[in-house]
A and B are shown apart, each in its own frame.
Chain A
Amino acid sequence: MAEHRDSHAHENEKKLIIASFILTVLTIAAFGLFLMPGRGVGYAPAQPIPFSHALHAGKRKIQCLYCHSNADKSPKSNVPAVAVCMNCHRVVKVDSPHIQKLTEAYNNNMPIQWTKVHVLPDYVYFNHQRHIQRGVSCETCHGNVADMERVEQVSPFTMGWCVNCHRLPENQAPLNCNTCHR
């Protein structure tokens, strides 16, 4: 009985080794494609309302922090609440169908679901507040948004890309793993 179980277990182990080998190769290949450096550059998804940064930040010269008001107050920057849009759009361009959509959302107390452009993994804790207080401009990472009709990812947002900047002696930035990973 014991012998039988041994040989059975042996068989299983052999199968297991082969299975895990194939699994490993395929998984590495899959993840390699999935996480290839620079994969997200050029990502410019359509948004529920075709908000133009080129118009607001470029032509009208509205400061980034007017809408993204928490970027210097919190690790997380924010996409403005609908109420912030309504500050101006109560009176500005009320005839536009997009603004009407916005007004409708506001009046119905329905939030707008924007599509996230700059995605970091859950185990990365980037801190907007620290970078802005250090004088890093928004454009350094997000590119010249003031020229973008639709926001596009211009930097790879990979660890190597982050660390390249942190490594520069003049930046005096921390290089501890815990700075970003907890």
Chain B
Amino acid sequence: MSKKFWMTVEQAENPDEFAKNIPGEFAVSGSPVREGFEKEGLDRRDFLKVTGASALMAALAGCTRRPVQKIVPYVTNPEEIIPGQPNFYASADPATGYGLVLKTREGRPIKVDGNADHPVNKGTLSARGQAMVHDLYDPDRLRGPKVGGSDGSWDQVDAEVSKALASSKGSAWLLTGTVMSPTLKRVASEMGLRHVMVDAFSMDDVLDGQAQSYGSRVFPRYRFDKADYVLSLGADFLGTWGSTVEYTHQFSEKRKLDGNKISMNKLVMFEPVMTLTGQASDERFSVHPADMLTVAFAITHEVSKQLGRPMEELAPFSASEVAQKTGVPAEAIHSVAKELVKYKGKGLVVAKDYGAKGVALQNVANFLNSLLENEGETIDGASYPSNQFQGSHSDFEKLLNAIRTGGVKTLIISGVNPAYLFADSMKVKEALEKVPNLVYLASYADETAELAKYVGAESHSFEAWGDVSAQKDLYSIQQPTIRPLWNSRSLLECLVTWGASSRGKDFSPSEEAYKELTKTWKELHGRHGGGKGFQDWWDEQLMGGVLEGGNREGKSQSRSYRQEMLRAAVASSRSVSNKGGEAEFSLVLTPSVAIGDGSQSNNAVLQELPDPVSKSTWGNYLAVSPVTAAKLGWNDGDFVKVETSVSSAELAVYKQPGLREGVVSAHLGYGRKFNGRVGNGVGVSFVNFTGSSSTGMGTRPTHLVGVRVSRTRGSERIPNTQTHHSLEGREIVFDTTLEEYRKNPKAGIVREFKEGEGPANIWSGFEYNGYKWGMVIDLNSCTGCSACVVACSVENNVPSVGKDQVQKNREMQWLRIDRYYSGDPANPETIQQPMLCQHCDNAPCETVCPVVATVHNDEGLNQMIYNRCVGTKYCSNNCPYKVRRFNWFNNNGNMNGTLEHPIPLMMNPEVTLRSRGVMEKCTFCVQRIEAGKSLAKSQGRRAGDGDIRTACQDACSADAIVFGDTNNPESKVSKLRSHPRGFVTLEEVNAKPQITYLTKVRNRAPEGGEGKQGEHHG
């Protein structure tokens, strides 16, 4: 009997009923033509219009040629451009600190990936990073400066702002997000600006905790690559907390079970809501958000006892008492403590408290790390700490107070949208309105722009020079790859202009900014130049993208913990942890993987990216626990009203397995009013709910108690993609435990029949004499971060279709990540399975196409020929994996040229734009295969590993996707395919898919074995 996996709570409760009720692939969608007619009916006039138009077309076509096309060559061909060939440029992302490689075609950036040489992100980006190209070409971006709400000129802005700055010496402030650019910081301080940094999702708790525990306010470099054991007390470090791409790399590297490797790291997660990290964990315990600190004390108490140094002040937090109070089993606390001690020096504790006790919790986590001698081993707070989070809410408070007392004459804001992010709870808007000269530099006419006297259009980071230092002694140049599309400027360009003592006729902001940049780098050249001439060295830095000093791989300097901070934390916990009344809920507000702080919410690819946890798109929804929902009779999509004493919101609920009972949660970053045509009005804003910072020791609590949730009228179909392409409950994923895997490497895999048997084969097979393409996906590495989904859409011009279309199952993503739960809905285990065209050798789709539009090629690819497709959809109907997507509309507007400028510039010219009525699906990035083969052929060799990488493979921080030539026995993909963990999905169908999955292995005690702590109920 195999294990049962389920996708929704309904399926877990009643799988048969679920299978019966799930709509067929096209049942919800029907036909858009009929939809229109049902609404209005086709009257006689429309009938004539349709036929008349076609007659006219026929008449015209009979006597005209195809339209005349022009060829417009350069006047002087730029040296580096060969039309038709891409160029690659190293750069850096000023927002995250990650190193970038931009692919440009004829001077247009069309794809961005990580820089493989960059020690932080090692070649990959997050979903949001992958989507940056779409931000660049967003037609809703600000196209020029505005003064007092109407279009102005930079000359006017420059003159007036310079004057304002000159007259407000000492009372001119600069407000930004975290700035990692040494040049920008220097220029700001040389101008005498008082620089305040504030982060949308503040890491103040970590920074202040570090300051209290160790004496300096730094964001440490967490080293998951050194940690065999990770305890996370609420920190979603794979999804939304900290330097996620870096952590995903390191964490997944420690989970690889390639070759004969039989050991891997272990992740234990305590959290109130379900997060990406919780889904990836080996053991997960749901904790009420108000209890996090108490649980941390209990673990610390146990650890100190086991180390023979019991802490007296922690005596009230014995495992049994805490278990009784919080519902976390005492055995769990014992075993976590035991393992932490076992992995002394090789463990790592990270923490995040959603409430007001963030700093206290950090102090406890720091104490644990120091006590267990992890400090210096897996945490680097002294040698090469991170610069990625520097924001300070207390500084921001100081700025607001200075405004209130009239101490701010001129305020320049860039990179942060305070009027949206910090909203009314902090009276930010009122304060900003009081600033005499409010200068705002932004990409959109957003909430803060409404208040600003001067609004400058901000250049995208792909359009301007800059530099980034993500960690100590680590520098990258931010290199522009396109001239600004609009009349925009970067913050550095603005500052050098406004700070210039005199501006002649030839004054160029971008040249001045470049001069300041080279000034910084000349200084770096002095330290790191190694005797090379500056120009040569500079060119090298531009090309390589990474300037690194010191050795970041070795052991770090260890710091000593200030013991009194633990006592202080204990004291702070004495204030009773309030969970609210009986009928009230705790509301936890979290960032989402796709939308984050909402700054990219006008990006349709991100709006349409299914949230990796809930799989919902286009908005935020209130997650409630399945138990609560059942008790109150709520169903997915029912509207409810969420109320606190300060604010209220109305939105739809959905049942989130693993969510703590009595807790509801929702994503921040939604409900933008002044953003653009895509982002406006999507979801509900919860920023007014977030507490005032004055209560939270510099942090902004996103856990609120005493929240009332009541049912209002009506409901909607949540645009949730998980059930759209249902495989009718067939066995498609397998998992096992590390212990079982050690006994039997094939553990967990359930095969319906023996090798060589199976159903009859109606295909005679193909011969593959040259290349044969295949893929391996390691389910044990995949965290579900969804960067691959965005990368695929950007690479392959996959359109976004909008909320109403997703509600009708018409999303177009070629690659989806299926999320399977197993076990108790109160705290299930999760498997993430990237699902894309399997390029079956015996492809069921090929046999049913009446026009041979989908056929096999001699390299094993299942080809989809758009210009031959007539849209019968038979192929999709016959696909057991449900990976084909049908164009119900001209989503890319290609037939009638409806794409708005500059969107056409964003398209990958190597991939056909599909029109209405055409089926499409994953091609294994055939344009990259052809390019890779062509390059190898020109060099007279066979394409090998690394010549051809699919977009999803390039995007994967976990290195879970391996693509290559399976006819080459030496290729990585060939070796991985024969790994005992390998299985193909729906083997019994005998489609012979060319994607091999490797089983998920959990590092926990096997089911039924001793220590069932992983199976915590309730």
**A residues whose Cβ falls under 8 Å from a Cβ of B:** 8-9, 12-13, 15-16, 18-19, 22-23, 26-27, 29-31, 33-34, 43, 45, 70, 73-76, 78-84, 105-106, 109-116, 119, 121-123, 125, 127, 129-130, 133, 174, 176-179, 181-182
Question: When the two chains form their complex, are residues B37 and A16 in contact, meaning their CB atoms are under 8 A apart?
Answer: yes
Question: When the two chains form their complex, are residues B50 and A23 in contact, meaning their CB atoms are under 8 A apart?
Answer: yes
Q: Select A8's contact among B41, B73, B865, beta carbons within 8 Å.
A: B41
The residues in B between 906 and 943 inclusive whose CB is less than 8 angstroms from any CB of A are: 910-913, 923, 926-927, 929-930, 934, 937-938
**Whole-angstrom distance from the CB of B981 to the nearest CB of chain A?**
31
Interface flag for B72 (CB, 8 Å): yes
Q: Are A177 and B855 CB-contacts (below 8 A) given A81-B74, A82-B75?
A: yes
**B residues whose Cβ falls under 8 Å from a Cβ of A:** 33, 37-38, 41-42, 44, 47, 50-51, 54-55, 57-58, 60-62, 65-66, 68-77, 82-85, 855, 857-859, 861, 863, 865-867, 894, 910-913, 923, 926-927, 929-930, 934, 937-938
Question: When the two chains form their complex, are residues A45 and B68 in contact, meaning their CB atoms are under 8 A apart?
Answer: yes
Question: When the two chains form their complex, are residues A130 and B937 in contact, meaning their CB atoms are under 8 A apart?
Answer: yes
Q: Select A127's contact among B65, B929, B934, beta carbons within 8 Å.
A: B934
Question: When the two chains form their complex, are residues B912 and A133 in contact, meaning their CB atoms are under 8 A apart?
Answer: no
Q: Select A81's contact among B50, B75, B857, beta carbons within 8 Å.
A: B75
Contacts of A34 in B (CB 8 A): 61, 66
Taken together as a complex, chains A and B put the C-alpha atoms of A150 and B910 apart, in Å, by: 31
Contacts of B37 in A (CB 8 A): 9, 12-13, 16
Question: When the two chains form their complex, are residues A178 and B863 in contact, meaning their CB atoms are under 8 A apart?
Answer: yes
Apart from A113-B70, A181-B912, what 20 extra A-B contacts exist at CB < 8 Å? A8-B41, A9-B37, A15-B47, A22-B54, A30-B58, A30-B62, A34-B66, A111-B73, A114-B73, A116-B68, A121-B867, A127-B934, A129-B938, A133-B938, A176-B863, A177-B857, A178-B857, A178-B930, A181-B865, A181-B867
**Whole-angstrom distance from the CB of A174 to the nearest CB of chain B?**
8
Chain B's closest residue to A110 (CB) is B75
Chain A's closest residue to B867 (CB) is A123
Contacts of B42 in A (CB 8 A): 12, 15-16, 19
Question: When the two chains form their complex, are residues A182 and B73 in contact, meaning their CB atoms are under 8 A apart?
Answer: no
Taken together as a complex, chains A and B put the C-alpha atoms of A125 and B54 apart, in Å, by: 30
Question: When the two chains form their complex, are residues B73 and A22 in contact, meaning their CB atoms are under 8 A apart?
Answer: no
Taken together as a complex, chains A and B put the C-alpha atoms of A99 and B82 apart, in Å, by: 26
Pull 11 A–B residue pairs with CB atoms less than 8 Å apart, ordered by A.
A9-B38, A19-B50, A30-B61, A78-B83, A79-B73, A80-B73, A81-B77, A114-B73, A177-B857, A177-B865, A178-B926
Query: Which of the listed residues A30, A31, A33 has the most CB atoms from chain B within 10 Å of its own CB?
Result: A30
Taken together as a complex, chains A and B put the C-alpha atoms of A133 and B937 apart, in Å, by: 9
Q: Select B75's contact among A83, A121, A178, beta carbons within 8 Å.
A: A83
**Whole-angstrom distance from the CB of B925 to the nearest CB of chain A?**
9
Contacts of A29 in B (CB 8 A): 58
Question: When the two chains form their complex, are residues A79 and B937 in contact, meaning their CB atoms are under 8 A apart?
Answer: no
Question: When the two chains form their complex, are residues B54 and A74 in contact, meaning their CB atoms are under 8 A apart?
Answer: no
Q: Are A19 and B61 CB-contacts (below 8 A) given A122-B912, A133-B938?
A: no
Taken together as a complex, chains A and B put the C-alpha atoms of A76 and B835 apart, in Å, by: 34
Question: When the two chains form their complex, are residues A19 and B51 in contact, meaning their CB atoms are under 8 A apart?
Answer: yes
Chain A's closest residue to B929 (CB) is A178
Question: When the two chains form their complex, are residues A27 and B57 in contact, meaning their CB atoms are under 8 A apart?
Answer: yes
Question: When the two chains form their complex, are residues A178 and B70 in contact, meaning their CB atoms are under 8 A apart?
Answer: no
Contacts of B861 in A (CB 8 A): 176, 178
Q: Are A116 and B75 CB-contacts (below 8 A) given A176-B858, A177-B857?
A: no
Contacts of A80 in B (CB 8 A): 73
Taken together as a complex, chains A and B put the C-alpha atoms of A95 and B62 apart, in Å, by: 44
Contacts of B866 in A (CB 8 A): 123, 181
Contacts of A133 in B (CB 8 A): 937-938
**Whole-angstrom distance from the CB of B32 to the nearest CB of chain A?**
13
Question: When the two chains form their complex, are residues B57 and A26 in contact, meaning their CB atoms are under 8 A apart?
Answer: yes
**Whole-angstrom distance from the CB of A71 to the nearest CB of chain B?**
10
**Whole-angstrom distance from the CB of A133 to the nearest CB of chain B?**
6
**Whole-angstrom distance from the CB of A157 to the nearest CB of chain B?**
12
Taken together as a complex, chains A and B put the C-alpha atoms of A29 and B61 apart, in Å, by: 9
Q: Are A82 and B865 CB-contacts (below 8 A) given A70-B84, A76-B84, A179-B930?
A: no
Contacts of B855 in A (CB 8 A): 177
**Whole-angstrom distance from the CB of B566 to the nearest CB of chain A?**
61
Contacts of B55 in A (CB 8 A): 26
Taken together as a complex, chains A and B put the C-alpha atoms of A182 and B73 apart, in Å, by: 25
Contacts of A113 in B (CB 8 A): 70-72
Question: When the two chains form their complex, are residues B934 and A129 in contact, meaning their CB atoms are under 8 A apart?
Answer: yes
Taken together as a complex, chains A and B put the C-alpha atoms of A83 and B81 apart, in Å, by: 15
Question: When the two chains form their complex, are residues B70 and A116 in contact, meaning their CB atoms are under 8 A apart?
Answer: yes
Contacts of B72 in A (CB 8 A): 111-114
Question: When the two chains form their complex, are residues B85 and A73 in contact, meaning their CB atoms are under 8 A apart?
Answer: yes
Q: Select A119's contact among B50, B66, B910, beta carbons within 8 Å.
A: B66
Q: Are A177 and B863 CB-contacts (below 8 A) given A22-B51, A116-B69, A119-B69?
A: yes
Taken together as a complex, chains A and B put the C-alpha atoms of A98 and B41 apart, in Å, by: 61
Contacts of A30 in B (CB 8 A): 54, 57-58, 60-62
Contacts of A73 in B (CB 8 A): 82, 85
Question: When the two chains form their complex, are residues B930 and A116 in contact, meaning their CB atoms are under 8 A apart?
Answer: no
Taken together as a complex, chains A and B put the C-alpha atoms of A76 and B82 apart, in Å, by: 9
**Whole-angstrom distance from the CB of A53 to the nearest CB of chain B?**
15
Taken together as a complex, chains A and B put the C-alpha atoms of A22 and B54 apart, in Å, by: 8
Chain B's closest residue to A75 (CB) is B84
**Whole-angstrom distance from the CB of B110 to the nearest CB of chain A?**
15
Taken together as a complex, chains A and B put the C-alpha atoms of A111 and B44 apart, in Å, by: 51
Q: Are A70 and B62 CB-contacts (below 8 A) given A82-B73, A176-B858?
A: no
Report, nearest first, the 3 A-B pairs whose CB atoms are least far apart.
Answer: A76-B84, A74-B84, A30-B61
Question: When the two chains form their complex, are residues A26 and B867 in contact, meaning their CB atoms are under 8 A apart?
Answer: no
Taken together as a complex, chains A and B put the C-alpha atoms of A133 and B934 apart, in Å, by: 10
Taken together as a complex, chains A and B put the C-alpha atoms of A121 and B74 apart, in Å, by: 23
Contacts of B937 in A (CB 8 A): 130, 133
Query: Which of the listed residues A26, A83, A174 has the most CB atoms from chain B within 10 Å of its own CB?
Result: A26
Taken together as a complex, chains A and B put the C-alpha atoms of A111 and B857 apart, in Å, by: 42
**Whole-angstrom distance from the CB of B219 to the nearest CB of chain A?**
44
Query: Which of the listed residues B75, B863, B912, B923 has the most CB atoms from chain A within 10 Å of its own CB?
Result: B75
Taken together as a complex, chains A and B put the C-alpha atoms of A81 and B863 apart, in Å, by: 37
Taken together as a complex, chains A and B put the C-alpha atoms of A66 and B192 apart, in Å, by: 57
Contacts of A78 in B (CB 8 A): 73, 77, 83
Question: When the two chains form their complex, are residues B77 and A83 in contact, meaning their CB atoms are under 8 A apart?
Answer: yes
Taken together as a complex, chains A and B put the C-alpha atoms of A113 and B57 apart, in Å, by: 29
Question: When the two chains form their complex, are residues B77 and A115 in contact, meaning their CB atoms are under 8 A apart?
Answer: no
Taken together as a complex, chains A and B put the C-alpha atoms of A181 and B912 apart, in Å, by: 8
Q: Select B926's contact among A33, A129, A182, beta carbons within 8 Å.
A: A182
Contacts of A70 in B (CB 8 A): 82-85
Chain A's closest residue to B69 (CB) is A116
Question: When the two chains form their complex, are residues A176 and B859 in contact, meaning their CB atoms are under 8 A apart?
Answer: yes
Question: When the two chains form their complex, are residues A125 and B910 in contact, meaning their CB atoms are under 8 A apart?
Answer: yes
Q: Select B61's contact among A33, A45, A75, A76, beta carbons within 8 Å.
A: A33
Chain A's closest residue to B70 (CB) is A113
Contacts of B50 in A (CB 8 A): 19, 23
Contacts of B62 in A (CB 8 A): 30, 33
Contacts of B65 in A (CB 8 A): 43
Taken together as a complex, chains A and B put the C-alpha atoms of A38 and B867 apart, in Å, by: 19
Taken together as a complex, chains A and B put the C-alpha atoms of A30 and B47 apart, in Å, by: 20
**Whole-angstrom distance from the CB of A117 to the nearest CB of chain B?**
9
Question: When the two chains form their complex, are residues B930 and A109 in contact, meaning their CB atoms are under 8 A apart?
Answer: no
Taken together as a complex, chains A and B put the C-alpha atoms of A176 and B77 apart, in Å, by: 34
Taken together as a complex, chains A and B put the C-alpha atoms of A106 and B73 apart, in Å, by: 12
Contacts of B927 in A (CB 8 A): 125, 182
Question: When the two chains form their complex, are residues B54 and A23 in contact, meaning their CB atoms are under 8 A apart?
Answer: yes
Q: Select A26's contact among B33, B58, B85, B912, beta carbons within 8 Å.
A: B58
Contacts of A178 in B (CB 8 A): 857, 861, 863, 923, 926, 929-930
**Whole-angstrom distance from the CB of A123 to the nearest CB of chain B?**
4
Contacts of A27 in B (CB 8 A): 54, 57-58
Q: Are A115 and B70 CB-contacts (below 8 A) given A83-B77, A176-B857?
A: yes
**Whole-angstrom distance from the CB of B534 to the nearest CB of chain A?**
31
**Whole-angstrom distance from the CB of B889 to the nearest CB of chain A?**
18
Contacts of B69 in A (CB 8 A): 115-116, 119
